């Protein structure tokens, strides 16, 4: 199969924000586009919105005026479904309601030519279930764009149990011809992005519920250490705490109450209180006019260390030593407790999922602090650190002085298992292996989807390859042991890679 020819008419049903964006994308790729909405004024508003996007593209030098005019001329609003009869592809972007969508598809079957493709832009409904009531289930597939469609590169092409494989491949090729990054996946709850991304929000809420830190510090660590564009609190407030709550419950139900998808009580309280995020001006943050986001917790400036010794391999944190030395900190290397840094008589190590207090009760000694993961220790501007309950107060000062000497701000958090970023990354990788194991898509598809659909700084399986599956399994096993909760169970596929040492890519 190959991409649809640019002269193939494409119909878009639903002229809201997403439908208008999809119409824009198809018209920009050269297709004549038929735009239908049950509200006659919606198509006019959509054309106005598209014209605004095109004007901004002209202002930024990305397009010339005659090109923009040609895009608009290719989009023709229609007043009745019957006017879509010539379309070779119909993309539905109506309300997320299975009954409404199925009723629409049945009408389309009586209108369209037998070889026309029907695609749903659903973000959560089963393509298999939507197709089951149709006379010809193989012609229906999912084509899930991300908002805003003209900007976001990812398109999830979803193949239901009865979807014709050739049709699915045509949609993949067509999306690629439209300049998108399509990923073919099997119909399953949440598809790729909404399934794998659950821990980013769910674990953040659990950490906040446990008092590990405050939302502003959590968000800052995820941005400044993890490289994420937004922290989970910011993201939930932008999208809507209530919408996130609905998705969390839908995923939990779809996976038959699997504890990995369990929603949080604190989120239910926020929804009940009307704290839905930016749209209600109160969510994880408050949004009064002109207010600034509160600053994250940051340790006060401390003196640089006088004596630093690194013992053994620090694994992913080895780059931290290079950064410290580049900043003028003299580091001695020695054999001893693997993966530790001794700072003026205090001990520092990368978290392995255990609490600092537990490790301090063993052979590592009382003056122990654990530090969190970073996307790039050579560039991170903030790090989360937890100190054992047994530690002397001077441990905090010594550890803060070490990181500050390298230009890294320190956010001390409560002694919580796996800290903030480590817990999130390990769970994202674990969810990714679960989707891979169940045949939703492959490793390349997963990482492409998370990079292109959510702008993640690194794909979860690329991150797993960087950390090593064995390290991730250790963290997950410690989390499961400490919480006694099956939500932290490592997948069999993650364990296989831990035992074999094989990467997920390559």
The helix or strand, by DSSP H or E, that contains position 163, with its residue range, turns out to be: none
> What are the catalytic residues?
123, 144, 156, 194
Q: Architecture of 308-412 per CATH?
A: 2-Layer Sandwich (3.30)
The helix or strand, by DSSP H or E, that contains position 281, with its residue range, turns out to be: none
pLDDT at residue number 423: 98
Of 78, 158, 86, which Cα lies nearest the Cα of 115?
A: 86
Answer whether 160's CB lies under 8 Å from 119's CB: no
Answer whether 260's CB lies under 8 Å from 491's CB: no
Q: Do domains 10-187 and 308-412 have the same CATH topology?
A: no
Question: What are the structure tokens assigned to 197, written together?
Answer: 């991304």
Every domain of the chain and the residues it spans: 10-187, 308-412, 424-474+487-500
Cα 412-415-419 angle, rounded to 5 deg = 75
DSSP 339: T
Instruction: Find residue 277's DSSP bridge partners.
Output: 282
pLDDT at residue number 338: 85
Instruction: Print burial letters for 193-222: b (CB count within 10 Å at least 16), e (below 16).
Output: bbbbbbbbbbbbbbbbeeebbbbbbbbbbb
Question: What are the structure tokens assigned to 300, written together?
Answer: 């006060």
Of 350, 354, 352, which Cα lies nearest the Cα of 314?
A: 350
Instruction: Find residue 382's DSSP bridge partners.
Output: 409
Answer whether 264's CB lies under 8 Å from 490's CB: no
Query: Between 1.10.260.30, 3.30.2130.30, 3.40.50.720, 3.40.50.620, what CATH number should domain 10-187 receive?
Result: 3.40.50.720
CATH annotation of 424-474+487-500: 1.10.1040.10
Q: What is the pLDDT along the chain (506 residues), one digit of tens a residue?
A: 699 999 999 999 999 999 999 999 999 999 999 999 999 899 999 999 999 999 999 999 999 999 999 999 999 999 999 999 999 999 999 999 999 999 999 999 999 999 999 999 999 899 999 999 999 999 999 999 999 999 999 999 999 999 999 999 999 999 999 999 999 999 999 999 999 999 999 999 999 999 999 999 999 999 999 999 999 999 999 999 999 999 999 999 999 999 999 999 999 999 999 999 999 999 999 998 878 889 999 999 999 999 999 999 999 999 999 999 999 999 999 988 889 999 999 999 999 999 999 999 998 999 999 999 999 999 999 999 999 999 999 999 999 999 999 999 999 999 999 999 999 999 999 999 999 999 999 999 999 999 999 999 999 999 999 999 999 999 999 999 999 999 999 999 999 999 999 999 98
| pTM score | 0.95
């Amino acid at each position: 199969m190959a991409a649809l020819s640019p002269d193939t008419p494409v119909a878009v049903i639903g002229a809201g924000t997403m439908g208008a964006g999809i119409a824009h994308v198809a018209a920009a790729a050269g297709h004549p586009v038929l735009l239908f909405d049950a509200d006659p004024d919606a198509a006019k508003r959509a054309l106005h919105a598209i014209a605004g996007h095109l004007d901004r593209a002209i202002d930024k030098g990305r397009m010339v005026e005659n090109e923009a005019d040609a895009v608009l001329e290719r989009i023709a609003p229609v007043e009745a479904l019957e006017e879509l009869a010539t379309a070779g592809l119909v993309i539905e972007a109506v309300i997320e309601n299975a009954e409404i969508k199925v009723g629409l598809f049945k009408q389309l079957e009586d209108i369209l030519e037998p070889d026309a493709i029907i695609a749903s832009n659903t973000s959560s409904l089963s393509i298999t279930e939507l197709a089951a009531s149709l006379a010809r289930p193989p012609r229906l597939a999912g084509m899930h764009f991300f908002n805003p469609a003209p900007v976001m590169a990812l398109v999830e092409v979803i193949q239901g149990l009865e979807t014709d494989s050739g049709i699915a491949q045509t949609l993949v090729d067509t999306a690629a011809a439209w300049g998108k990054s399509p990923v073919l996946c099997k119909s399953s709850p949440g598809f790729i992005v909404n399934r794998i991304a659950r821990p980013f929000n769910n674990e953040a809420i659990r950490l906040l519920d446990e008092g590990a830190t405050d939302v502003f510090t959590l968000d800052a660590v995820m941005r400044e250490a993890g490289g994420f564009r937004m922290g989970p609190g910011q993201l939930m407030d932008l999208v809507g705490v209530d919408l996130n709550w609905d998705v969390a419950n839908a995923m939990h139900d779809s996976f038959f109450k699997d504890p990995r998808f369990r929603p949080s009580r604190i989120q239910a309280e926020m929804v009940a209180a009307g704290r839905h995020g930016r749209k209600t001006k109160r969510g994880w943050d408050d949004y009064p006019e002109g207010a600034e986001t509160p600053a994250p917790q940051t340790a006060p400036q401390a003196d640089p260390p006088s004596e630093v010794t690194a013992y053994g391999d620090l694994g992913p944190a080895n780059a931290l030593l290079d950064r410290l030395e580049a900043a003028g900190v003299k580091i001695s290397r020695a054999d001893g407790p693997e993966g530790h840094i001794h700072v003026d008589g205090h001990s520092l190590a990368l978290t392995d999922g255990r609490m600092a207090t537990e490790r301090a009760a063993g052979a590592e000694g009382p003056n122990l602090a654990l530090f969190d993961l970073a996307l790039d220790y050579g560039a991170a501007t903030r790090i989360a650190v937890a100190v054992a309950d047994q530690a002397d107060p001077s441990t905090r000062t010594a550890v803060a002085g070490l990181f500050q000497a390298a230009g890294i701000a320190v956010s001390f958090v409560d002694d919580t298992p796996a800290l903030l970023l480590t817990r999130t990354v390990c769970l994202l990788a674990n969810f990714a292996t679960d989707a891979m194991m169940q045949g939703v898509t492959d490793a390349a598809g997963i990482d492409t989807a998370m990079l292109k659909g959510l702008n993640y700084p690194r794909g979860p399986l690329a991150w797993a390859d960087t950390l090593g599956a064995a390290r991730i399994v250790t963290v997950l096993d410690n989390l499961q042991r400490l919480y006694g909760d099956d939500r932290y169970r490592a997948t069999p596929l993650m364990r296989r890679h831990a035992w074999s040492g094989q990467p997920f890519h390559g």
